[in-house]
Structures are given as C-alpha cells and as structure tokens.
Amino acid sequence: MSCCAEREEGIVEELISIIVPVYKVEEYLPACLDSLVHQTYKKLEIILVDDASPDGCGEICDSYAARDDRIRCIHKEKNAGQAAARNTGMDVAGGEYLFFADSDDWLAEDALEKLYEGLKRHRADCCVGGCVTVMDGGGGEGKAPVGGKTPDARRGERVETSRDAMRHVLLDASAAWNRLCRREMLEGLRFPLDRVNDDECFILRAYERMEKIVFLDCGTYFYRKRANSITTSAFSVKMVDCFYNSRDNLEFVKKAAPELIPAAEYKYCRSLLWCYVNLRRLKRDERAETLRRQLRREIRRSRRTALSNPYLSFPLKALALLCQIM
C-alpha cells in the first residue's frame, strides 16, 4: 500500500493511528478488526496491543497482521490493564492523528473518513462521532446501519470551544473511543493506571489543550454493551475509582479552568454519593466498610458544596443530607 494514498478529491491523506487494547474478546475481535481494515479511509496504522490475553486473541491479531501490512501487533507478557495498553499504543504510534477503539466494538465503514473530513472542515483539534449502542445478542438502537455508511454528517454537527467540551465531560460522561484527535494535542498525556473510568481523566485534560472540538450527529461507532463488562457489572469496591477520578478532575479544573469549578464539583458530589450508597449494599465486606466511613466523612465536609451547587438536583442535595446520618 502506498504511503501517500490520495482521495478521489485529490486531498492527500494523513496517517491515522488506531490504538486497540485487546483482552479476552476472542468472540468479538474479528468483527472489530474487519471494520478497521475495511475503512474507506485507507491510510491507517492499526496498533493491536494484546494485553497477555489468555484466549485466542493473540493468534487472531497475528493472522490479521499477516494479511494487512497496516496492522502492527504488540504482545505483552503480563496483563497490565486497558490504560497501560493504550499508553503502550500511544508510545509507538506514528500517525498525525490518533483514534482509540475498544476490541469488542466496531466502526461504520466510513467512520474515519467522516471524522477526518469534519476535523479538516472546521480546522479543529478533535472530531467526535455519534455512538450507536448495541446490546449483546443483536438488539440495538440508533440510525446508522450495522457495518454500513453513516448518514450525511453535515446535517447535524456542532463546534465547541475547549471549555464547552470540558463542561460536557464533567456534567455527563465521556469515553476515549470514537474521537479523532490531532496527535500533538495528546503529547505527554497518559491514561491513569489501575483505575476504572479512566477515560474521563484523559479526555478532560486533552480538551483543555484544544481550541476547537467538532461533534458529528451521525453514528460512526458501534458500542457493544455486554452483560459482563465493567460498565454493566455489579458494583464493587473497585468502582470507587469513579470518586477518585472526579476528585482528581476537580483539582485539575481548579488550576486549569476555574470557571468550570461548579461543573467539576457537581461530578465530584454525584460520584461521592453514588459510591457511598452502593458501598452500603456490600454487606460483610471489611474494605467496603472502611471506604464507606471515609466517604461519609467526605460527604460531611462537602455538605455546603453540594447544597449550593447549581447543577446538583434537589433529590441529590437531600441525599447528601441524609447520608450524613446513614
């Protein structure tokens, strides 16, 4: 494949590095990789980081690499988690643009073409596509056909400033996948290790460096919602990482974007209350009880912050008061 492929419009394509952490997704990995190698945007570097997967994922990665010279496989000897795998991929990526994908999801065939065009059209630092959630087993929602092309992205797209995009991360949520970023905007950034929900920490800091972020109103990414995934599994003490992440994000915002402190405090209080309530449900768990006592003290210290926050709903404010005596 030519290293200087050209589109029909005569625009020289720039290299996009796709980083895919791979672990225990043998059943889903081929669909993900098929969607990557068949992208209408051809100048790709596909970096597969096999995180010491105990199933057949390593062999699947190697078989695809043998058929497509755009694929590079990295086999780790010891499992280190998704964040470490993504960091490894960034360390070796050579593209002008970076894109993250999870190995049990897949892309519309023109996803990267749409994202690249949106980014270039607005001279932006990042372009984010729409997500179609598909329940494992075949059910789904959204307009984009599975494996097909997306609707016309220009019908519904918005451009946001750095602060607007950061505010949305703090008030809602964000994932690392399904966004095409200029490589230079991510230089030196790392995903925090050994934490769940690490995407928000990374994306918040990435947006802070950017001037313009484009959001397309079309489904470019198919997110597979599995029953045994981190996001759908039962609450465990590990999920208290959500509180630690929100606490770190609040401290970051205080220094980098103080105008967003109310939004960061909202996420902090909400995650604090959510973790505290769920920890109470873990009976006869000594670690959970220790964490619950710590969070209860934190709730007491944050009472005024919660009660005065403009984004926190009345039920959550009432819960903050109630948790002090629970």
Query: pLDDT tens digits for 179-194?
Result: 999 999 999 999 999 8
Question: Highest-confidence range of 36-50, 219-233, 278-292, by mean pLDDT?
Answer: 36-50
Read off the pLDDT band of 155 (50, 70, 90): low
Q: Quote the pLDDT of residue 322.
A: 85
Average pLDDT, the chain: 88
Q: Which residues does 159 contact at the CB level (< 8 Å), separation at least 6?
A: 122, 124, 212, 213, 214, 215
Tokens of residue 199, six digits: 């995407």
Q: DSSP character for 249?
A: H
Q: Quote the pLDDT of residue 91.
A: 96
Segment 303-319 mean pLDDT: 93
CA angle in degrees (0–180, nearest 5) for 183-206-133: 95
Q: Which of 31-40, 229-238, 254-263, 283-292 has the lowest mean pLDDT?
A: 229-238
Where in the chain are the domains? Answer: 16-225, 237-323
Q: Quote the pLDDT of residue 138.
A: 45
Domain 16-225 grouped into CATH 3.90.550.10: yes
pTM: 0.88
